[in-house]
Amino acid sequence: MKRNEMLRNFPPTFEDTGDEHAGSSVDTPLRDDAFEIGEDEKIQRIATHFKDIMEVLGLDLTDDSLKGTPLRVAKMYVKEVFSGLNPKNKPSVTLFENKFKYQEMIVEKDITFYSHCEHHFVPIFGKAHVAYISTGKVIGLSKINRIVQYFAKRPQVQERLTMQIAHEMMNSLNTEDVGVVMDANHLCVSSRGVSDTNSMTGTAFFSGKFKQDITKREFLNYINTQS
């Protein structure tokens, strides 16, 4: 199914209905003391607890293949797949003057992202498509990819991830004219539960000029165009 068909009946923004979906507020739910301990201590604590989980499951942690797993998992959680929780890792955004007075949308499509479902801590992966219309500044293209990756590297729901990317683009560029579309596979659907390996989830955020049918259609047509 084409994205413009899939998104035809989507609301123009999830802000209108976000609170009706469990856990879909724009901000990632974090405790106030989330960063009172350092990364090294977090790694040690997670490794200890993950070792307990493995032992409860009946695994033999004296086996050469398993004995290093708790520490490997802990490092992966803190340093890699959940590194977007730490605001220290937020990418700095470099803006440039729009010297060419370019008035049309700028689109970065097919941005690969990997995240984790906050309900089961299994992977979400897919493509993000981000567009904006400049109000005087433009952003380095690689920074759009980094913004997507930063917010993806958290326990997430796809609705929140879509909104966080859009809000960051709006705040960084001081523009209301932002569109974000995301298509993703959820392993909580494909590898457990109903075990449906064919379905994908689509989410979208349209703001400013992207709420206008002609601009929205141009964006959707563009991301459906084969490279």
* pLDDT, position 200: 83
Please tell me which residue in 158, 159, 164, 167 is annotated as part of the active site.
158
Q: 123 in helix, strand or coil? A: strand
Is residue 123 within 8 A of residue 82, CB to CB? The reply is no
pLDDT for position 22: 47
End-of-domain residue from the set 20, 55, 85? 85
Would you say residue 163 lies in a domain? Answer: yes
Catalytic residue among 117, 149, 164, 168: 117
Task: Round to whole Å and give the CA distance between 98 and 49.
Answer: 51
Structurally, the chain folds into a number of domains equal to 2
List, as one string, the DSSP characters of 7-39. TTTS-S-GGGTGGGSTT--SS----TTTTSS-H
Instruction: Check 15, 39, 44, 120 and give the catalytic one.
Output: 120
Domain range for residue 150? 3-29+93-224
Q: What is the pLDDT of residue 188?
A: 80
CATH of the domain at 198: 3.30.1130.10
Q: Reply yes or no on whether 186 is catalytic.
A: yes
Q: Residues 49, 19: one domain?
A: no
* Same domain, residue pair 121 and 187: yes
- Are 84 and 154 in contact, with CB atoms under 8 Å apart? yes
Instruction: State residue 227's pLDDT score.
Output: 63
Active site residue 120: yes
pLDDT in tens, the chain (227 residues): 455 554 444 444 434 333 344 444 799 999 999 999 999 999 999 999 999 999 999 999 999 999 999 999 999 999 999 999 999 999 999 899 999 899 999 999 999 999 999 999 999 999 999 999 999 999 998 999 999 999 999 999 999 999 999 999 999 999 999 999 999 998 887 677 777 677 788 999 999 999 999 999 999 999 998 76
Who contacts 172 (Cβ-Cβ below 8 Å, separation ≥6)? 93, 95, 139, 147
What's residue 3's pLDDT?
A: 54
Give the model's pLDDT for residue 226. 78
